[in-house]
Amino acid sequence: MKLLATAFEPFGGEAENVSQKALALLPEEIDGAQIVRRVLPVVFGEAGAALRRAVKETEPDAVLCLGEAGGRSALTPERVAVNLRDARIPDNAGAQPADEPIVPGGPAAYFATLPVKAMCGAIRAEGLPAELSNTAGTFVCNEVMYTLLHLLAAEHPGVRGGFLHLPRAEGSGLTCGDLARGVAAALRAIIKG
């Protein structure tokens, strides 16, 4: 089995992104499954294109995209991605779209095809906080999740996919090592599920 795990580069003037740091700490193999890593740009359109290339290059059995969510105190598997770009801040290229579809004419939303409740349970079993989230927001994280699920539905129906938001380490009391442990637990739940 092969799992593609993605994270994002820093954005919003920050020097680091905890998703990228946690991704770097993941082992190359979990429960016999190969873990392939990619870092995506925080740029509308470009992030989705980079994700498409990564799926084509790696041919994974499942994809877990990681992102950073300020203001959250738990690891949050996302249930839903919506067909909407509506940025509160500019992306790393300075774009700040408002009320635009990600895929014109595409479905209004997609549900994750990963076992999100099992992922929460696995993270909690590691002694870490986890909550199921019903919104990936409307920034590049949501765009990546929507793009992934749209791609999988259209071109790779046997591949499962979803998104996991990580809290910023300094605000949550969790270290990047804790976050990586939580991501690994989520990946184990995906492998079992």
Residues 174 and 167 sit within 8 Å (Cβ to Cβ): yes
Tokens 């839903």 sit on residue: 80
As a whole number of angstroms, the distance between CA 123 and CA 187 comes to: 10
* Sign of the torsion angle spanned by Cα atoms 70, 42, 107, 37: negative
Question: CA-CA distances (angstroms) from residue 100 to 15, 104, 108, 109, 139?
Answer: 29, 8, 12, 14, 11
Reply yes or no on whether 165 is catalytic: yes
Catalytic residue among 120, 150, 165, 176: 165
∠ CA 147-135-108, nearest 5°, is: 50
Catalytic residue among 68, 78, 120, 176: 78
Reply yes or no on whether 120 is catalytic: no
Catalytic residue among 65, 68, 120, 141: 141
Reply yes or no on whether 78 is catalytic: yes
Active site residues: 78, 141, 165
